[in-house]
Amino acid sequence: MSLSAEAIATLSHVSTATITTVLLKKGLRNIWMRGTKPLKPGQKRLVGPAFTLRFVPAREDLATPESWSSPISTRTAIEAMPAGCIAVVDAMGITDAGIFGDILCARMAKRGVTALITDGVVRDVEGVLGTGLPVWCDGYAAPPSVAGLTFVGWGEPIGCGGVAVFPNDVVVADQDGAVLIPQAFLDHVLAEGPEQERMEAWIVNEVNNGAQLPGLYPMNAETKARYAATKK
């Protein structure tokens, strides 16, 4: 799945908070990936299709430095990442072993990967920041991935921050963290997200002008009519 430039531009102006509201109205409550915080304050909102990677608990015969040369390794997975994707990594919330460091992130940046998102942590944090690759994670740690994790594959359904992520689901990340848009709901979010943003901006303006919240948020019939009049 490839996202159109128009879809990316639209979602770049829709906050993750708004997306959670829009999808909540469709019955989707679990789309915000826990532990996905921006590594660098001020990272701009980014959008892309998910490229999934999965770790399991470390097993001594598999989680070794030698495994980094295996055909099934994070190194090989990175070479399969298409430009524009967002790498979403299931690290099971482990926070004492960094899944990627500066060298791997530099290669991802070179390949045109949009961002790295994980419920785990990174290592070599100064170097990672120096690569320019935007990262959303749960912090950083010095030990390598094999100190606590075994890498097992990519391109399959994963769980990241308690959210089921399928390859090519759409991911949006901003200062509130990362959220998932299932492919089947993309058109709905593209249609409803901008309208939700416009409506909430109008409500904020009303609040700044002294309006009281009852009847405004949520809107009663009179407020809905006033808002509708502004769109004519």
What distances in angstroms separate CA 119 from CA 8, 96, 135, 137, 178, one per listed residue?
24, 12, 11, 6, 10
User: For every residue of 160-219, which 3-state class applies, written as one string?
Assistant: ECCEEECCCCEEEEECCEEEEECHHHHHHHHHHHHHHHHHHHHHHHHHHCCCCCCCCCCC
Two tokens, residue 119: 């419920």
Say if residue 192's pLDDT is above 60.
Answer: yes
Main-chain phi, psi angles of 162, to 5 degrees: 80, 10
Angle between helices 221-230 and 186-208 (to 10 degrees): 100
pTM reported for the whole predicted model: 0.94
Tell me the residue length of the chain. Answer: 232
What's the rounded mean pLDDT across residues 174-198?
Answer: 97
Q: Map tokens 């943003």 to a residue.
A: 197
Report the 10 Å Cβ neighbour count for 86: 25
Mean pLDDT over each residue of the chain, to the nearest integer: 96
Q: What angle do CA 76, 62, 89 make, to 5 degrees?
A: 50
- Percent of the chain at pLDDT > 70 equals 99
8-state DSSP, 98: B
Q: What are the pLDDT digits (tens) for 19-34? A: 999 999 999 999 999 9
Quote the pLDDT of residue 64: 82
Q: How confident is the model at residue 83 (pLDDT cuts 50, 70, 90)?
A: very high
Which of 219, 202, 80, 217 has its CA nearest to residue 153? Answer: 80
Q: How confident is the model at residue 1 (pLDDT cuts 50, 70, 90)?
A: low
Q: How confident is the model at residue 65 (pLDDT cuts 50, 70, 90)?
A: confident
Say if residue 140's pLDDT is above 90.
Answer: yes
Could you give the CA distance from residue 227 to residue 97 in angstroms, rounded to a whole number?
Answer: 51
Q: Is the peptide bond before 218 cis (omega within 30 degrees of 0)?
A: yes
